[in-house]
Amino acid sequence: SQKIEQNSEALNIQEGKTATLTCNYTNYSPAYLQWYRQDPGRGPVFLLLIRENEKEKRKERLKVTFDTTLKQSLFHITASQPADSATYLCALAQSPNTGTASKLTFGTGTRLQVTL
């Protein structure tokens, strides 16, 4: 059966450290993968998208890697801050065609807590 798993339900790290979140999938052939941030009672906020033929993407303090052999994506937040505390979701899409609807399937999420 198809499954998307995010490494842990919760991750606690100290301010200034790098947070690394994992997204593993089975029985998918994703065309691309997206990472979102969700705060309590709010909709997800788009962070980064990485395509199947890309190994790494960066945006400011964020970095995403995508290994289709390992069937895994890693999401890194460097120099983490208490304001980064939130739930982070990975989502896979299988359709490669931007002209058609591409359904996203979400992982269970990892709740990140950055402490002082």
Partner 1 sequence: GAVVSQHPSRVICKSGTSVKIECRSLDFQATTMFWYRQFPKQSLMLMATSNEGSKATYEQGVEKDKFLINHASLTLSTLTVTSAHPEDSSFYICSAKGLTYEQYFGPGTRLTVT
13 binds partner 1 (CB under 8 A): no
Q: Which of 34, 64, 84, 112 binds partner 1 (CB under 8 A)?
A: 34
**How far from the centroid of its chain's Cα atoms is residue 51's Cα?**
13
19 binds partner 1 (CB under 8 A): no
Q: Contact region for partner 1 (CB under 8 A) — 16-24, 58-66, 72-80, 100-108?
A: 100-108
116 binds partner 1 (CB under 8 A): no
Q: Are 13 and 32 in contact (CB under 8 A)?
A: no
Closest Cα partner for 17 from 80, 110, 75?
A: 80
98 binds partner 1 (CB under 8 A): yes
| Neighbour-count burial of 103, counting CB atoms closer than 10 A to its CB (0-12 exposed, 13-18 middle, 19+ buried) | exposed
28 binds partner 1 (CB under 8 A): no
- What number of chain residues touch partner 1 (CB under 8 A)? 25
Enter the tokens of residue 63: 């970095």
* CA separation for the pair 62, 60 (Å, rounded): 6
102 binds partner 1 (CB under 8 A): yes
Interface residue list for partner 1 (CB under 8 A): 32, 34, 36, 41-46, 49, 51, 89, 91, 93, 98-99, 101-109
